[in-house]
Structures are given as structure tokens and as C-alpha cells.
Structure 1
Amino acid sequence: MRRRLPDAQPGPLDPAPKTTAAVPDSSALRTGLMGTRQADGKAVGHVLAQGVTNWTTAGTIPAKPEIGFKARVCVPIRWRGGLLGLLIVLDADGALTTSELAAMTASAQELAALMIAVHGPPVAAADRAREAAVDDLLAGEPEVRRAAIQALADGEPGPLGRHVRAVAAEVRDRGEPGPSHVTIALRHALSAQAATDLGHKALYRVRARGVALVLCTSSPATEHDVDRFAAQLIHRVEDVSDGRFTCVAGIGSAVAGLSAAWSSYRQARLACRAAGQLLPSPVVRWSELGTLGILLRLPPEELRIEMLPDELRRLLAVDRNRRLTATLRAYLDTGGSGPAASVALHIHRTTLYYRLDRIAELTGLDLSDGRTRLTLHMGLQLLDFIQIEETRRRNPVSEP
């Protein structure tokens, strides 16, 4: 057996114990440890970032001193090709012998059989059914939604709250995380939220690059509480990311009952698309979108430069360095206030008015006309959205 195989991935480990294991959840790896305390998210993220979920043989997980993580050897525990968990042994000084590595591999094979016998298959049927019902609840026809509501109610030990709000979260790449890393990060965050935070009952459906959540409460949740819930979810996802991806979230409007959850979710999904891009915050509520809510409903395939209004295209054609465009944006964003726009641009008011006169001269536009201002302002928002969609086309991801 080779002494060192793939260049490792970090695992959820505490420096104290000699041997630990990570055990899978129903449909993804649960980052838990046997015989030691729960590993923190940064250690989990370091392990996953090494690609351990794709390993088929033993390999070394490198040390990461800045988080107190020592080098380890990791052996995947697999059953019929599927990953059940990780057998991880502390090896800070590289002293493990070939015979010890062989013993670890044999132990991993025995553990796989024991885990299947005790825990059953990796994906529990009840979990699959619940998440499928959430899919139907959010995307199905009225009859399908009614059946989904009944299925969800039958599967819960107590009543679901009648105050409902949807949250859509999406992962955006910085590096090249594998799908298993993303899925584990999402489920890690959800498992941490499940029994805490606001007394919510959270129904969810994990997807390839995100998660759809439906929060059910017995009394209306405040905006602050829902914002905090979404922010904590993002923090927990990113804590396991090892810097390879970020997370954003959108929040829909409050609705009465699960029968209207689909409406809140559509709003949440649009708000999520704006988060961190059209709007700077990683958590965006539907109520914050304003006219962006209208633009976000445009079919993605229609979002191309030729969709821009003629008035804005005339300006872009003569403004190669985009200085006049930035000036116009600041002027319109401040409601046509010269003093406020000049402060936002850090220029003298005389310079501002000179640039506005140049826009009128070069394009023939009357910036005192209300309709022209509205067209230009929405056109600038549409331009931002088109540029983001063009980036998404080059780097496609699944919707949350």
C-alpha cells in the first residue's frame, strides 16, 4: 500500500484524540466525530477542501497551523462505492508505518459493513420523501401543493405554524469546490439551525448549489429575527467552505399558511439573485428590491445589451470611459439632487453640472423630463442585471 496517496483533505478533527471518524447524515456526510468533541467548521472545511469525499484509498491531510490542525491520515469508508464516512488518524510526525496503513484500510472495510448494519443506507427514505414534498409545495400545481401540505403535516409530530416565510440560499464559487463539499456545507448549516433560532420549524429542500427553506412559526417573526436566521445560515455554510465559496440568501414576504409558501419562495429566489450583486448585502428581503423586483422577473434569455432602452444606449455609445454614465447614475440615485450627487461622486458641483450638460449635448436627452429620467434610471439598473446574467451564463449554477 502506498505511504501517501492523494494530496490530502482536512477532516473534522480535534488535536487531542488519536483516531476519529466522520459519519454521514441521511443524504450527505454529517461532520461529526466518534470519541471526541464536535469539530469546528474551519477544520471541517479544511478537510473537505482536500477532496476527501472523492478519495477511494488512504491519503494524507496536511497540517494547517493557523487553525490548530495537525497532519492526519484519512481512509474513506465506502459501501458499494458510496461514501459512508472517514476514518482519520492523527499523524503529526509522519510516523505511521505501511502495516499500520494497511490495518486502517482493513478497519475501514469492517466499519462500512457495521455502519450499514446499524444505520442503514446513507439516504433515508423519510428524508427523501420530505424534501420531495417541499419541492411539490414550492413548484407544483394547486392540486400537487395540497397533496404536499398533507404529506408534510402527516410526517411532523406537531402542528406546523400558520405564519410562513420562505428563504432561498445560494452558493457562489470562489475556487473549485466539489459538489459533495457544497452539499455537506449546506446540510451542516441546516443541522445546526434545526433545533435553534426563533423556534422555527424549517422545512427545506437541499439542491445542487443551494437550499429552499420554508419557515413556519406559531406567531409572526420579526424582520430582524428572519434576517438573523438567514445571516447565521450563511455564516455556518461559509465556516465549512475553507474560502472556496460564499453564500447569499433572499427572503420572501410573510404569508398565511403553507398554501401560499410558493409565492413567498418565488420572491425569495428573486431576492437571492440580487444579493451580493445588484445589492451589496448577502441577505436581501423582497421588500428591499423596489423596481429591481420587476427587472428580476424578466426571462434570463432576454437579458442582453440590445434590451437596453434607446436613451441609455445613446449615452453608452459616446461615453467610452463610463464617467458620464457614473455621473448620471449618482444624479438619478439621489433623486436629481445636485448637492447630494456631487458629494457622492466627490466632485465640485460645477463639475457635476458640466457633465450633465455634456450628456444632454452628446445625446440630445432632456434630463429635466420625468419620463426620460425614469427610463434612464431603470435602464441603468437593467444594465447591472444584464452584466451579472452574462457572468452567470459563463459560469452557470443550479438555482436554489
Structure 2
Amino acid sequence: MAGDDVQSVVDALAVRLGRSVAVDDQAIRLIAASKHFGDEDPIRIRSVLDREIPHHLQRWVLGHGIADWTAPGRIGGHPDSDFGLLPRLCVPVRCHGVLLGFLWLIDADRDLADSTVQTAVDAAETIGVILYRRMLLHERERSVAEAALRNLLSPDAEDRRRAAEEIQSDGLLSASATVVVLAVEIDGESDRDSSLALETAVEHVQRRQPPATFLTLLQHRRAVIVLGSARPPREGAARDVADRIRARFTELAGPGRRCAVGVSAARPGLESVADAHRQAATAVRAALLLPMFGDVASWSALGPFAMLLRVDFDQLAEELPFPGVRDLLADPANDLLATSAEEFLDRAGDVAASADALHVHRTTMYHRLKRVEAVTGLNLDDGLDRLTLHLALKLTRINSAHRTATR
């Protein structure tokens, strides 16, 4: 079979057979496709345009068990004719026993001759060798990139300097770039499927980014992503990336699984990645623990939580270090008082606005605040006492969310 790359093998096979040919990877994402010979169906056309087919069809195709096939076989057309997926010959693409993808011939009339099938098998073997070499090269490149990013996150300045030089010399990311770091984390316990979904989602988005602008480090249930650009990124660009990763993760892992993303501020140069990562890690903690921030939290939007979320809650005593509010926070019977006090403090001491938010009369609100003062011994007309109570309430909320998450 002529050619030393997948596309040339696919084109040569298509001309030889007079049929359109496509090769997908293991997740049914298009690698290469030939010109059409009038045998294409709507799904083949969509695959060429989008480089993949809808996820529910991916699951349906993989549901035939083709990932375990070692010889060619056929799958029937999709039972819903609206999808326009005709019967196909599927030839697994393997090398050294490793599944690398699938070669497809549309077989609407189920009339492929044995010689045609064997020719397709021979082409799949050639493609397997090419993809195997490509996989080894990709793994080496990925290993180099991840090692460089680990060093870029090092607390040691010399490690960071050397990593920045390596990244620049290898063309992985511009050393003069403005960088934004994303910290992505799966909520709850991770398993093999959710970790694979996260990895696939990140790679899916990375393939759609310009070269030398996207560097990743995957760590099971977490991912660190460095976005680089020659000039400050447009507002919302990092959030767009975060939203696409989350959407793809949910599509792959299912609606019962959630991942959150923290987004750092834009920082100048590669050696600031470690600082930006600390910001992103704090922001993703906010997204995981505090519903008010949603699933994507930006460092710039954290306000005082940027400091509060850096508390080491594993070392925090059972009783927060605010003795004046111990009784208020320790007794569940006082939950309504604590909620009222937090609303009052969040609204800068505006009693009317707080009463409206809680749907109570202002007299009731004044009564609750007097009871808060009686229980805590604090004076809510005193700025320092207000700060003490506000900090205690916010830390209690975060600590409660942290304990729930770790359970």
C-alpha cells in the first residue's frame, strides 16, 4: 500500500476499491477520510465536517463491542433512520495487540467481496504501524511536556527558570506569553471512567487550540492547564475553554458527575505559572465548596474568599478561633440567628434590605440582631466586632462544606 501516512493509505485504498474509506480513533473521532464515491451517508458527511459523530452515536457504535474485535466484522445501520447511519464493515486497526482505531467501509448492500475485505485488512495493518509510531511519539512528547510543567510549578526558582527555558526551546509554549492557568478537578470520588472522561475532555479542547498555546498536566482526578498567548487574552477566553472542558466531561462521564474549574488572573511570562496555579487552585476550591461561585470560579471574583479558602481546614480545630461567637455557632437552635447575621453583614449592615431578603419585618430583623449580640457578646455597631463575626460565619460555611466534601 502506497504512502507513509494515514491519509495517503486511506486515499490509495479508496481509489483501489472505488469506495469511500474512513479511519477513526478508539473514541470514534475521525483521523482520515477519503473522497466520496456516492456511497456516503449523512453520518459520514457529518464526521468529515465535525471530525466526530454525536456522542450518543459513539456510544451506540462502541456498544457493539468493536473495541474487543481482532478481526473485521459488520455493524447494522442505526435502527432510527433519521440518523442516516448505514451498515458498515469495521476493521479494527491494531499493532502489537494495541487497539489504535477502526477502518470503515460503508456496506449498505452487504455485498463486499472477500477480496475487498482482505484488501481493507491489509490497509488497516499498514495504518496500525503508522498510528503505533505516532502514539509512541505522542507519549514521548506528552511526557516531556508534563515533566516541564511539573518543574514550572516547583517552589524552587531555579527549577522554574530551567523549565521555562525547556518549554521555550521545545516550542511547547512561548516564553514571552501572557499565561492563564486553569485548575480542573472532579467533584467527589474519581474512578477510571471519570478520570478517562477528564483526560479525553481536555485533549478534545486542546486539539482545537492553536499550537504552542496550551500545556497540560493530568493527575487522575485533576488537571492543570496553562493557556499562553502573545498578548493579554480577551476577556472570557479562559472561561470559554473551561466551559468547553466541563461540557465535554459531562457528555462523556454522564450527568451524575461534575467537574469544577478555577481560573487564575492573567500573568506575564512562564515563570509566573506557579503563582497563577496557586490562584487557580484556590478558585477551584471555591467552585467545589461554595455554590455561590458556580462550576467555574475566577480568582478575580473571589474577593475575601481568596484568603479564607487558603485556610488549612485539616489543621483547623473543631471550634473556630472566635470565642465570642462560639455559642452562636455551636448550637443548632441558633442557625436562624446565624443566617440573619450573615445576611445583615453581607448587605453592609442594611437592615431593610436584609429583612426583605429574608422575607421578615424589620422589627423581626432588629430583634434577631439584638439576640445575636446577646449570645456572642459582640456589638454590631462596632466595625471590628462586625469583621470578627463575618469572618467566623464565612469560615464556618467553608469548613462545613469542606467536611461534607471530604466525607
Say whether the fold is shared (TM-score over 0.5): yes
The 5 A counterparts of 1:245-264 are 245-264=257-276
| From 222, 246, 253, the counterpart of 1:210 | 222
- The residue aligned with 1:334 is 347
| From 378, 381, 392, the counterpart of 1:365 | 378
User: Is residue 320–residue 392 contact of structure 2 (8 Å, CA) maintained in 1?
Assistant: no
- Within the alignment, does 1:43 sit opposite 2:65 as a pair? no
- Within the alignment, does 1:344 sit opposite 2:357 as a pair? yes
| From 232, 235, 240, the counterpart of 2:247 | 235
Deviations 1:44-76 (A, max 9, x none): 3774699979964699999797x9597999997
Measure how far apart 1:315 and its partner are: 0.7
Richer in helix (by share): 2
Amino acid at match of 2:196: S
- The residue aligned with 2:177 is 162
User: Is residue 42–residue 240 contact of structure 1 (8 Å, CA) maintained in 2?
Assistant: no
- Within the alignment, does 1:151 sit opposite 2:166 as a pair? yes
Measure how far apart 1:328 and its partner are: 1.2
User: Is residue 251–residue 283 contact of structure 1 (8 Å, CA) maintained in 2?
Assistant: yes
Measure how far apart 1:129 and its partner are: 0.5
Measure how far apart 1:112 and its partner are: 6.6
With 359-368 and 258-267 compared, the bigger mean Cα shift is at 359-368
1:84/1:376 Cα in 2 relative to 1: closer, same or farther (>3 Å)? farther
Deviations 1:82-135 (A, max 9, x none): 54335789999xxx9xxxxxxx9xx89994774234441635212221122112
In the aligned structure 2, how far is the partner of 1:248 from the partner of 1:110? 43
TM superposition score normalised by structure 1: 0.73
- The residue aligned with 2:30 is 32
- Within the alignment, does 1:130 sit opposite 2:132 as a pair? no
In the aligned structure 2, how far is the partner of 1:218 from the partner of 1:366? 53
Structure 1 portions without partners, runs of 5+: 1-16, 97-103, 395-400
1:387/1:152 Cα in 2 relative to 1: closer, same or farther (>3 Å)? same
In the aligned structure 2, how far is the partner of 1:69 from the partner of 1:310? 69
| From 281, 284, 287, the counterpart of 1:269 | 281
- The residue aligned with 2:14 is none
Measure how far apart 1:306 and its partner are: 2.7
- The residue aligned with 1:13 is none
1:362/1:140 Cα in 2 relative to 1: closer, same or farther (>3 Å)? closer
Measure how far apart 1:349 and its partner are: 1.1
1:293/1:83 Cα in 2 relative to 1: closer, same or farther (>3 Å)? farther
In the aligned structure 2, how far is the partner of 1:241 from the partner of 1:305? 36
1:379/1:173 Cα in 2 relative to 1: closer, same or farther (>3 Å)? same
The 5 A counterparts of 1:33-72 are 35=33, 36=44, 37=48, 43-44=54-55, 47=58, 56=68
In the aligned structure 2, how far is the partner of 1:30 from the partner of 1:147? 39
Cα RMSD, aligned residues only: 4.4
User: Is residue 166–residue 264 contact of structure 1 (8 Å, CA) maintained in 2?
Assistant: yes
In the aligned structure 1, how far is the partner of 2:355 from the partner of 2:204? 47
User: Is residue 270–residue 286 contact of structure 1 (8 Å, CA) maintained in 2?
Assistant: yes
Higher RCO (CA-CA < 8 Å; seq separation 6+): 1
In the aligned structure 2, how far is the partner of 1:382 from the partner of 1:34? 54
- The alignment-based identity, stated in percent, is 26
Measure how far apart 1:274 and its partner are: 0.7
Measure how far apart 1:194 and its partner are: 4.0
Structure 2 portions without partners, runs of 5+: 1-18, 34-43, 111-116
